[in-house]
Amino acid sequence: MRQWDAEHRVSPKPIPDWSVLAKADIISMSEADVAGDWALIAHIATLANILLVTQSADGAVVFEKGQPRRHFPARQVVEVDPTGAGDVFAAAFTLRYAESRDVGRAVKFAIGAAGVSVTGKGMGGVPGREEMEVFL
């Protein structure tokens, strides 16, 4: 959903056929992946059982089939390096969701993990499980 230009700047990359996402049970993306196009996000939400849309320091919006969409606020932290926060969010959500099958609990865990991850530089900011349990 992203591309690099010749100067290595990242920008959204349109997907020609969004229906390919219908094979996914869970989709995790940033609102920046579609340049903030919430009409497109609503369409993508019809394709998967769970759509997680991260919003940087504003938290995340969750679309779950058969449920009203929900917003989960981010914890306020001092950001040092946001690189990889979305990846940390997706991995943390998947881990907690696999354990609990509770979307809300998994999103709160993922938001916490992503929040901690931006407080350090590079991989040094990514929290371990023990650190997350204390943080939460």
CB 37 within 8 A of CB 59: no
* pLDDT(10) > 90: no
* 133 — pLDDT class (breaks 50, 70, 90): low
**Predicted local distance difference test score (pLDDT) of residue 16:** 82
**Predicted local distance difference test score (pLDDT) of residue 63:** 97
* pLDDT(42) > 70: yes
* 26 — pLDDT class (breaks 50, 70, 90): very high
- Give the DSSP per-residue string, 75-136: PP---S--TTHHHHHHHHHHHHHHHH--HHHHHHHHHHHHHHHTTSSGGGGPPPHHHHHHH-
> CATH assignment of 2-135?
3.40.1190.20
CB 104 within 8 A of CB 70: yes
CB 75 within 8 A of CB 111: yes
**Predicted local distance difference test score (pLDDT) of residue 136:** 63
Q: Report pLDDT digits (tens) over 68-115.
A: 999 999 989 999 988 889 999 999 999 999 999 999 999 999 999 998
**Predicted local distance difference test score (pLDDT) of residue 121:** 85
| Sign for the pseudo-dihedral over CA of 78, 79, 84, 87 | positive
